[in-house]
Amino acid sequence: MDDEKSYSVDKIAPQPTIRRIPSYLRILYEYQAEGNQWISATDIAERLSLKPIQVRKDMSFTGITGKPKKGFLIQDLITSIRNFLGWTRASDAVIVGTGALGSALLGYKSFSHQGLNIVAAFDKDPDRVGKTIRGMKVLSMEELPELVSRMHVRIGIITVPSEAAQEVADVLVSAGIEGIWNFSPTKLKTPSSVVVQKEDLCSGLAVLSVKMGARHSNGEDGRD
């Protein structure tokens, strides 16, 4: 049963690598805007306070090859990374939940650079339906299945309160969505064919808190 896949024989990238790659892409655009054509792993590492070896290793997963002494051709590296991430063209997405976080994401202009194109926003609340948020008219949940299937939308973003999240996920799944970006703190039940990525702001806050606490239990006081 493990007849080799045609070309995905390459070792798959570790998740930490995948998470770092968008920041590399950002640096590349910056570096290019500064008029450069080449960039080395050392350059990238410096801007992000990483070690060059790690950048090099990460890059190797994207399939890029560089030139000793020069580094990587920025344009090629950008292409390579965008291919790796599947960000060659922005995927259409819908967002469900037009509260504060939802409208923040709607307004996040640079998603287009990040392979995401939000094409519609939905809300259950009749008071919100019909309103325009960041230039986008809020649609009712009833309109979701038809729009998703007509436009072949692959990604659904959930920014509703946690009580409503599962219900929304069910609607998205039966509308044929393939991936869910879940900003509610709820663990969703979905068929295994659907990819779910959960964001949890609290985990970052926990890291900050523990680091700050550790500093203090070391007897320090925050003064220098």
Partner DNA sequence: TAGATTGTTAATCGATTAACAATC
Concatenated DSSP letters of 10-61: SPPPPHHHHHHHHHHHHHHHHHHHTT-SEE-HHHHHHHHT--HHHHHHHHHH
Residues 32-71, mask of contacts with DNA (x by CB under 7 A): --------xxx-------xxxxx-xx-xx---xxxxxxxx
- Examine residue 125 and tell whether it contacts a copy of itself (CB under 8 A): no
Nearer to DNA, 50 or 175 (CB): 50
41 binds, among a copy of itself, DNA, none (CB under 5 to 8 A by kind): DNA
9 binds, among a copy of itself, DNA, none (CB under 5 to 8 A by kind): none
Instruction: Calculate the CA dihedral of residues 108, 191, 150, 161 and round it to 10 degrees.
Output: -40
**What is the rounded CA–CA span in Å between residue 75 and residue 26?**
13
**What is the rounded CA–CA span in Å between residue 110 and residue 117?**
10
Structure token digits, residue 82: 């965008």
Q: Which one among 31, 72, 87, 122 touches a copy of itself, defined by CB under 8 A? A: 87
Concatenated DSSP letters of 63-123: T---BTTTBEEHHHHHHHHHHHHT-SSPEEEEEE--SHHHHHHHT-GGGGGGTEEEEEEEE
Find the binding residues for DNA in span 69-128 (CB under 7 A): 69-72
- Examine residue 16 and tell whether it contacts DNA (CB under 7 A): yes
The count of other CB atoms within 10 Å of the CB of residue 167 is 13
202 binds, among a copy of itself, DNA, none (CB under 5 to 8 A by kind): a copy of itself
Residues that bind a copy of itself (CB under 8 A): 5, 7-8, 12-13, 15, 18-23, 26, 47-49, 84-87, 91, 99-101, 103-104, 106-108, 111, 114-116, 134, 154-155, 176, 178-179, 181, 185, 187, 191, 193, 195, 197, 199-215, 217-218, 220, 222-224
Binding site for DNA (CB under 7 A): 14-17, 40-42, 50-54, 56-57, 59-60, 64-72
